Amino acid sequence: MEEAEPAKLPEDSNEHKHRDVSSGGIRAAVFGLSDGLVTNVSLILGVAGAHPGGAFVRLAGVAGLVAGAFSMAAGEFVSMRAQTELMQRELDVERLALRRAPLAERDELIAIYEARGIDHDVAEQLVAEVMSDPELALATHAREELGFDPRSIGSPVKASVSSFFAFALGAVLPLIPWLVGSGTAAAIASVVIGVVTAAVVGWFLGRMTGRSRWRSALRQVVVAAVAASVTFGIGRAVGLGTGT
């Protein structure tokens, strides 16, 4: 397992900032870009490997871009919507429990803090402060019992839109050579664009996660290369023999 690089802070500063990793928008954008690239470069090279005319490759690339972007956006919206609805339902259950049995919820929260090593008297004092504010009580119980912050529930629409445009961007890059040319030159250009873009995506992921940027870039390139090689090989084996 890769070791995360330690966060670097200014020597004269005690402050640090965290990225928002819970909303789903950034995740959807990054993985949408990666999926769009891998999907379409594989599709384009797979079709190109069968030696059809350039028009067939362009058609396949455009179809893959449009279908993939809509599929990615729809899937992200449905999954995020289901997740947010589930979270909202659990919040409603917790809100009702706080209203109907506040003492039981109080004791439950005290027990959670004690299990984490907090002294009983300190836990009681802390929970008393928390329970005095209904919204704070709900947010605290959600974090401690349910494992999420109700203020950080992701937006299905934001995640869906991010996925759509990110996938489309990733998918259009290896298609560009086929919009202006065809044949071996276009195929080589698609490969080069795919490698460079995969490396950039991997480097960015490494930067976001604090892991080795070069390893993340190399891993992303390998994933894209394996997928593209397999589809190209299949296309070449099947073949159309119609020439370019």
Residue 222 confidence class, pLDDT cut points 50, 70, 90: very high
Structure tokens belonging to residue 138: 């709900």
Q: At a CB cut-off of 8 Å and minimum separation 6, what does 12 contact?
A: none
- What mean pLDDT do residues 213-242 have? 84
Does residue 1 carry a pLDDT above 50? no
Quick count: other Cβ atoms within 10 Å of Cβ 223?
A: 16
Q: At a CB cut-off of 8 Å and minimum separation 6, what does 173 contact?
A: 37, 193, 194, 197
Rounded Cα gap, residues 108 and 42, in angstroms:
53
- What mean pLDDT do residues 147-167 have? 84
What was the pLDDT predicted at 19?
Answer: 54
Is residue 207 one of the residues assigned to a domain? Answer: yes
In eight-state DSSP terms, residue 244 is: -
Is residue 166 one of the residues assigned to a domain? Answer: yes
What was the pLDDT predicted at 240?
Answer: 57
pLDDT, tens digit (0-9, with 9 covering 90-100), for 10-42:
444 455 555 554 445 566 677 888 889 999 999
What was the pLDDT predicted at 69?
Answer: 93
What was the pLDDT predicted at 17?
Answer: 55
The domain of 54 spans: 25-90+157-232
pLDDT, tens digit (0-9, with 9 covering 90-100), for 94-144:
889 889 998 998 988 899 998 888 898 898 999 899 888 888 888 888 888
**Average pLDDT, whole number, for the chain?**
83
Domain count, the chain: 1
Does residue 5 carry a pLDDT above 60? no
Are 24 and 80 in contact by the 8 Å Cβ rule? The answer is: yes
What was the pLDDT predicted at 30?
Answer: 78
What was the pLDDT predicted at 13?
Answer: 46
Is residue 124 one of the residues assigned to a domain? Answer: no
Is residue 203 one of the residues assigned to a domain? Answer: yes
pLDDT, tens digit (0-9, with 9 covering 90-100), for 62-90:
999 999 999 989 988 998 889 888 888 98
What was the pLDDT predicted at 175?
Answer: 93
- Determine which of 68-72, 154-158, 217-221 has the lowest per-residue pLDDT on average: 154-158
Q: At a CB cut-off of 8 Å and minimum separation 6, what does 141 contact?
A: 94, 98, 105, 108, 109
pLDDT, tens digit (0-9, with 9 covering 90-100), for 43-55:
999 898 888 888 8
Structure tokens belonging to residue 42: 């594989």
Label residue 36 exposed, middle or buried (CB < 10 Å: 0-12, 13-18, 19+). buried
Is residue 136 one of the residues assigned to a domain? Answer: no
Is residue 140 one of the residues assigned to a domain? Answer: no
Is residue 131 one of the residues assigned to a domain? Answer: no
Rounded Cα gap, residues 86 and 78, in angstroms:
12
Is residue 125 one of the residues assigned to a domain? Answer: no
Rounded Cα gap, residues 140 and 163, in angstroms:
31
> Residue 111 corresponds to which amino acid?
A
Rounded Cα gap, residues 244 and 232, in angstroms:
15
What was the pLDDT predicted at 164?
Answer: 92
In eight-state DSSP terms, residue 12 is: T
Q: At a CB cut-off of 8 Å and minimum separation 6, what does 155 contact?
A: 23, 24, 25, 80, 84
